[in-house]
Structure 1
Amino acid sequence: MNEIAKWLIIGGVILIGIGLFWQLFGRLLPLGRLPGDIVVEKENVRFYFPIVTMLVISIILSVLLSIAGRFFR
């Protein structure tokens, strides 16, 4: 099997796993509704910018990828 195809399949499985985890445990982890996320609501417009959520996800992914990088060296 092609190396790129393997990585695409692995990435897809990971995304499906994250989606299932988020669906099942989304109420326990309030990602997307953290203090500091910007929400502006007007009459017909709702603007939502999850800046704190993005920072938390970025930190978690950085730590996980750093740990994974040490195993694959």
Structure 2
Amino acid sequence: MGDWSFFGKLLLGMGLFLALMGLVVLLMGKLFSIGRLPGDIYIQKGNFTFYFPLVSSLLLSLILTIVLNLIFRR
């Protein structure tokens, strides 16, 4: 077969990355009010609730684009 140790290291790395990203998301929720910015669409009528974080998504995309460009810049 192939080299299974590489596959194991890859899975372990991805798991650690996902755990770290989960921790970052939890901390961001506590420290910053992202998700309830002006421009996010929130509709509540009776027992129906619709929430679309439009501005929050755009802001998160912009931040991730800047960070990833700084990391992967050559």
TM-score, length basis structure 1: 0.74
Residue-pair matches, total? 68
> Which ranges of 4 or more aligned residues in structure 1 deviate by more than 3 Å?
8-12
Q: CA RMSD in A?
A: 2.0
- 2:53 maps to 50
TM-score, length basis structure 2: 0.73
- 1:28 maps to 31
SS in 2 for 1:59: helix
Shift, 1:25, TM fit: 4.2
SS in 2 for 1:27: helix
C-alpha separation in 1, matches of 2:45 and 2:19: 35
SS in 1 for 2:62: helix
| Structure 1 unpaired stretches of 5+ | none
Q: Percent identity?
A: 43
Structure possessing the higher radius of gyration over alpha carbons: 2
The answer to whether structure 1 residue 39 and structure 2 residue 36 are counterparts is: no
SS in 1 for 2:31: coil
1:12-69 superposed Cα distances (whole Å, 9 cap, x missing partner): 3233222213323423211111111010000010000000000011001101111121
| Structure 2 unpaired stretches of 5+ | 1-5
- 2:21 maps to 18
